[in-house]
Amino acid sequence: MDDAGQKLKRARERLNLRYRDVEEASLRIAERHKNEEFIIALSRLSDIENKGTVPTIYRLYSLCAIYRLNLSDVLRWYGVDPGALSGDSAAIQLAETHLVTAPNDGDVEVRLPLALDPGFDIRKTVYVSRMIQRWGKVPLSLLDNLDIQNHRYGFIGSEDWTMYPLIPPNSFVLIDDSKRKIVNSGWTSEFDRPIYFLEHRQGYICGWCSLNENQLVLQPHPASLCSPQVWIYPDQIEVIGQVTGVAMFLDQAKRRRGQI
């Protein structure tokens, strides 16, 4: 933490700012936000720079604003990497199905394959790990193919078997929130029947739906051994959108058999 304080000190000195200058600037920030937590007193700034005192989130914000520093970079100085947020979230399994929100910070980076074997043919099944020649970090904002603005992403909880085996637990789903109208007919098999991602008072759920006036019936996959659920629509449940893509693991059957 001492190193982070020294980096902040060097940033201040590069701008020829005195302690008093920083305090006065923080007072203006506090006035703008009507919150005294943004104020950095002289003694506190000295402790941050020289004694390894960790600033509060408000004071850290003020320092970044005054010194023209990137907040994500300064967080990394203190050992907090915003780029690891998604990975840490994924490492913690939640039993309930939930929405996955993308970070708003354009500086967040993810590790992706930067170079593939020239012989890679997208039409053929391949062992991708052996086709990757080089990995690297890429800003999340550059991943235009994720289409974050026009789609939402959900994660099927580790105990949510509603659409198994089509969508096993621990699967990521791509949600098109422009397709929110329940369709009662028009498909020829279970594979082209629309699957919806919905929000109710207790959380989220994913499944086939039928709508009869104001009664919405969620129909689970027959192999899931789950029971249909009925809600009053739209008072008790909301359609987030239609599932248009799935990323899943293929080892769920063994785990399910162990529970039965």
The tens digit of pLDDT for each residue in 143-156 reads 444 555 556 888 88
Give DSSP secondary structure letters for the chain.
-HHHHHHHHHHHHHTT--HHHHHHHHHHHHHHHT-GGG---HHHHHHHHHS-PPPPHHHHHHHHHHHT--HHHHHHHTT--GGGHHHHHHHS--SS-EEEPPPS-TT-EEEEEEEE-TT--TTS---HHHHEEEEEEEEGGG-GGG-TTT-EEEE--TT--TTTTTS-TT-EEEEETT--SPP-S--SSTTTS--EEEEETTEEEEEEEEEETTEEEEE--GGGTPPPEEEETTTTEEEEEEEEEEE--S-HHHHHHHH-
Domain-located, residue 36: yes
The tens digit of pLDDT for each residue in 28-79 reads 999 999 999 999 999 999 999 999 999 999 999 999 999 999 999 999 999 9
Domain-located, residue 92: no
Residue 191 and residue 113 share a domain: no
Domain-located, residue 227: yes
Q: What is the value of pTM for the model shown?
A: 0.57
Domain residues for the domain of 50 are: 2-77
- Structural domains in the chain (count): 3
